[in-house]
């Protein structure tokens, strides 16, 4: 695993995994939030669209945190 993180393709791996994480978070949140909360709206979007927006934002935060954690652990 450390050889992958030290390779020159490290940033391409981050981009691909980040894109997948954002899409998965958006799909999961879009599918579950309207079922959990009645009349769910987020930033003016209702239902599944609002859940997708929330999921994409949570996915972006997750990508940023995971890349930062991996980079900090890689340097130790």
Instruction: Count how many residues are written for the chain.
Output: 76
Cα–chain-centroid distance for residue 33?
A: 16
Please determine, for residue 64, whether its predicted confidence score (pLDDT) is greater than 90.
yes
Alpha carbon separation from 63 to 18, 42, 54 (Å, rounded): 5, 21, 14
Please determine, for residue 1, whether its predicted confidence score (pLDDT) is greater than 80.
no
Q: What is the mean pLDDT of residues 61-68?
A: 92
Q: How many domains does the chain have?
A: 1
Alpha carbon separation from 75 to 8, 19, 32, 45 (Å, rounded): 15, 24, 37, 41
Per DSSP (E only), the strands in the chain are: 41-42, 45-46
Q: What is the pLDDT of residue 61?
A: 95
For 40, the domain range is 2-75
Q: What is the pLDDT of residues 4-56, one digit of tens each?
A: 667 778 888 889 989 999 999 999 999 998 888 888 888 888 888 888 889 99
């Amino acid at each position: 695993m450390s050889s992958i993180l030290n390779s020159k393709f490290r940033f391409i791996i981050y981009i691909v995994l980040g894109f997948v994480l954002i899409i998965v978070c958006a799909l999961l949140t879009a599918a579950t939030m309207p079922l959990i909360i009645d009349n769910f709206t987020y930033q003016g979007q209702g239902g599944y669209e609002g859940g997708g927006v929330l999921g994409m934002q949570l996915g972006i935060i997750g990508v940023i945190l995971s890349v930062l954690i991996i980079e900090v652990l890689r340097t130790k």
